[in-house]
Homo-oligomer: A and B are copies of this chain.
């Protein structure tokens, strides 16, 4: 993931994008930004993926309609209320698009809305009537603009999640930037919490959507904080085309190059989300190798990072590898566990804890030192094929319970 040059600026790094974040009053705390706008200078090829939860936010219904033609020009997002399970939800989301379109002088059908916060809380239009014109007036094509937007979409997140890289398409330098939020109710299934990607690469809407559908199963869908698939997971990608590359309209080397850039940004964003999982003190990455298929490799990796018992053991810095084996064993699918080897690694070293599904002698002291680091890597070698897979998660801590015992009240 380090093959690309990292650049500052988040969603404003690619050509043609500005962003802002303001306090509209959806949240009570006046110090907390709660409304963000991302605007493109031009109409963009646009793609999105959304939650598979049967209970889903009203903005998602509007997004699907507004994405039908493959183009969009702005994104409007609020935190503090998920606009989900409300009888007037679609009407409210539609009004938000109209307010945004008016403030920006664009078509309401080119605005994509998103919401995050408490589910089932009544929502009113008033703060949007005040906040949207303010956010429109404060749009900046700068790192500060992206950062304000990243701040405004946070809920229980403890830091802003932004990333941008440079890549080359047909000899032209392109950029891709992203902001994201989400730290609890994280077990994306098709897309994720909220993530907004921008790029100045010229890519057709159909290929943009195909690229998202290709990258999401191996990145966002492989991340879990708590196995609770949100009602509002949304990943939107706008491509302005202002980098000047020959438009990517069919599969081939340029599409592959774009896909690699998208994978790099998505993988990095997943690590940022999992690392900031509610109450987390550790990022847990699991890499599975030599599995019979990629599907099984990914399922095993996800099973390990989702195990409440192993997550609690990591919090306690206990190399309880039996819980890793247990999580491997209850993964659905047809595979053999006879040749499983497990290693636990971090910046402090690596211990080989299991070989052929049985105990492999290791130093508990060394293991405790390794688990004292923030970023923990679990390497699972299935010894039963050639496929690999990866997943991201975090430890289970007192603070996860505290945050979620208190969240609404």
Contact surface of A with B, Cβ cutoff 8 Å: 52-56, 82, 84-87, 118-122, 184-185, 187, 189, 226-231, 306-309, 312-313, 315-318, 320-323, 325-331, 335, 337, 354, 357-359, 396-398, 400-409
When C-beta atoms are compared, the residue in chain B nearest to A225 turns out to be B308
A82–B323 alpha-carbon span in the complex (Å): 12
A84–B406 alpha-carbon span in the complex (Å): 39
* Chain A interface SS verdict (over half): loop
What would be 8 A-B contacts, judged by CB atoms less than 8 Å apart? A54-B331, A54-B335, A55-B337, A85-B354, A118-B320, A119-B325, A320-B408, A396-B401
As for how many copies of this chain the complex holds, the number is: 2
Partner of A228, one of B118, B229, B323, B359: B323
Is B337 touching A120 in the complex (CB atoms < 8 A)? no
Which residues of B have CB within 8 Å of A337? 54-55
Is A397 touching B404 in the complex (CB atoms < 8 A)? no
CB contact under 8 A between A228 and B308, given known A55-B337, A85-B325, A120-B359: yes
CB contact under 8 A between A329 and B359, given known A322-B118, A404-B308: no
Partner of A404, one of B84, B316, B354: B316
Which residues of B have CB within 8 Å of A407? 313, 316, 318, 320
Is A55 touching B326 in the complex (CB atoms < 8 A)? yes
A409–B318 alpha-carbon span in the complex (Å): 7
Which residues of B have CB within 8 Å of A397? 401
Is A309 touching B85 in the complex (CB atoms < 8 A)? no
Which residues of B have CB within 8 Å of A358? 85-87, 120
Is A409 touching B316 in the complex (CB atoms < 8 A)? yes
A121–B87 alpha-carbon span in the complex (Å): 55
List 3 tightest A-B contacts by C-beta distance, closest first.
A316-B405, A119-B322, A55-B329
Which residues of B have CB within 8 Å of A315? 401, 405
Which residues of B have CB within 8 Å of A54? 328-331, 335, 337
CB contact under 8 A between A330 and B189, given known A120-B358, A120-B359, A312-B400: yes
A308–B185 alpha-carbon span in the complex (Å): 9
Among A119, A226, A326, A359, find the residue whose CB has the most chain B CB atoms closer than 10 A.
A326
| Distance in Å: Cβ of A194 to nearest Cβ of chain B | 15
